[in-house]
Structure 1
């Protein structure tokens, strides 16, 4: 059995592969690595023989996660990090290792599936990355995600109180609606403008792949064609790990 783990800024997702059987899970980690590792391993049934990790949590966190997994699962995990080129994708970063590995493996998976592609990751941060038909990573954008934007608004405006709600692309009729709808419109407008711009650089049939935990909140308002790929990072990690067999 193999275990693939995507460690993000706020959440951890994982996938167990045992032959044709696949089991997935995930939760917010709050950087409580020991607790989250216990939760992850509890659903496995037995210890994995192989563990692969794509992490943006930082070196110190990676060390703790590796130690927790090694002691509990009896298997030393292997970390995959961004590099100059892999699977036909060429990084444009002067220091490739500094590119978030979640973005990197998502681009690898997108390029391997469709060639030229635009990857939109709606996570803690909202990122957009573009890969051309030759596999060249052209660059990207990083802005705050919906949760981060709401948090900043709540932190810096003492009189704004936001109740949970469903956002729509229309004028709000309460403070909460104004906030939810305004942040949605701002995020959708930004994404749409970038996609339109990139389709003038790339082929206009280039695939747009949308992933990340906030994707369900955004995709209903997208007016362009896209594919919702919630497991794109895990798919990419599994692809790069398979080469090592």
Structure 2
């Protein structure tokens, strides 16, 4: 264990939002403590927090991440940045491991110690699938557009089409906006179900644990997914694991 005031803030910078968490000194369990959409909101939020050490993972471009880290350092923060690399008991399947998104890598680090066959579905701006076997071998994955990317891809080519942010799940749309939302929701549901099916085909005689994360999980019919664990802080859990291994 360690003192609460010695622990950093853990920050995940996604494509469309950021979130932060702290590790409690009593249990080492991460607790969400902040969320926003822009770096300006992040800076304003950080100014109200006591921590001066930040552990950061970002899926942004290298130029964007370097600029953010430089700004934070200029403000007096000590920043530890996680990037995809090698880790004990984890084996890459990518020939160029650095091309694996740090968010995907961290979700697998978070689950590596379970020594179980894991299927990880992350429904965010993009949808990603990763399969990790019980020996820590990454078997590969999928990347496809997330729900909102699918919607905006449809409406971006026509001024007559618009995204409806609210629709009743299931059934058929009685307006073009509802039809777009429901169609994209069905596509997201389908890719999730096919992802689990493909993972079972890869490991036909093994037990699989299914983990769900990402903000668009709320649009899924979870009964059709079957047994699973919802881990909304899974990337941050992996970031915490990475940080502990740097000590």
TM over 0.5: yes
Superposed displacement of residue 216, structure 1? 1.4
Contact 1:5 1:15 (8 Å CA) reproduced = yes
Contact 1:37 1:69 (8 Å CA) reproduced = no
Question: Match for residue 208 of structure 2?
Answer: 206
Question: Match for residue 112 of structure 1?
Answer: 113
Contact 2:115 2:136 (8 Å CA) reproduced = no
Question: Which shows bigger deviation, 124-133 or 35-44?
Answer: 35-44
Question: For the residues of structure 2 that align with 1:214 and 1:175, how far apart are their CA atoms?
Answer: 21
Question: Match for residue 19 of structure 2?
Answer: 13
Q: Do residues 56 (structure 1) and 65 (structure 2) align?
A: no
What SS does structure 2 have at the residue aligned with 1:210? strand
Superposed displacement of residue 204, structure 1? 4.8
Contact 1:66 1:76 (8 Å CA) reproduced = no
Structure 1 residues 163 and 22: CA distance shift in structure 2, 3 A = closer
Q: TM-score, normalised by structure 1?
A: 0.89
Alignment of 1:62-77 (within 5 A): 62-72=65-75, 74-77=76-79
**Gapped runs of 5+ residues in structure 1?**
none
Structure 1 residues 76 and 228: CA distance shift in structure 2, 3 A = same
How many pairs are equivalent?
Answer: 237
Tell me the alpha carbon deviations over residues 131-172 of structure 1, each in whole angstroms, 9 at most, x when there is no partner. 112111111111100011111111113322232213423222
Question: For the residues of structure 1 that align with 2:141 and 2:153, how far apart are their CA atoms?
Answer: 23
Question: Match for residue 225 of structure 1?
Answer: 227
Question: For the residues of structure 2 that align with 1:226 and 1:101, how far apart are their CA atoms?
Answer: 23
Question: Match for residue 33 of structure 2?
Answer: 24
Q: Do residues 140 (structure 1) and 102 (structure 2) align?
A: no
Q: Do residues 38 (structure 1) and 50 (structure 2) align?
A: no
Superposed displacement of residue 106, structure 1? 0.2
Q: CA RMSD in A?
A: 2.0
Q: TM-score, normalised by structure 2?
A: 0.88
Tell me the alpha carbon deviations over residues 170-222 of structure 1, each in whole angstroms, 9 at most, x when there is no partner. 22222222111111111111110121121122255311111112111225464
Structure 1 residues 167 and 132: CA distance shift in structure 2, 3 A = farther
What SS does structure 2 have at the residue aligned with 1:142? strand
Question: For the residues of structure 2 that align with 1:239 and 1:193, how far apart are their CA atoms?
Answer: 30
**Gapped runs of 5+ residues in structure 2?**
1-6
Question: Match for residue 9 of structure 2?
Answer: 3
Alignment of 1:142-161 (within 5 A): 142-161=143-162
Structure 1 residues 114 and 25: CA distance shift in structure 2, 3 A = farther
Structure 1 residues 134 and 170: CA distance shift in structure 2, 3 A = same
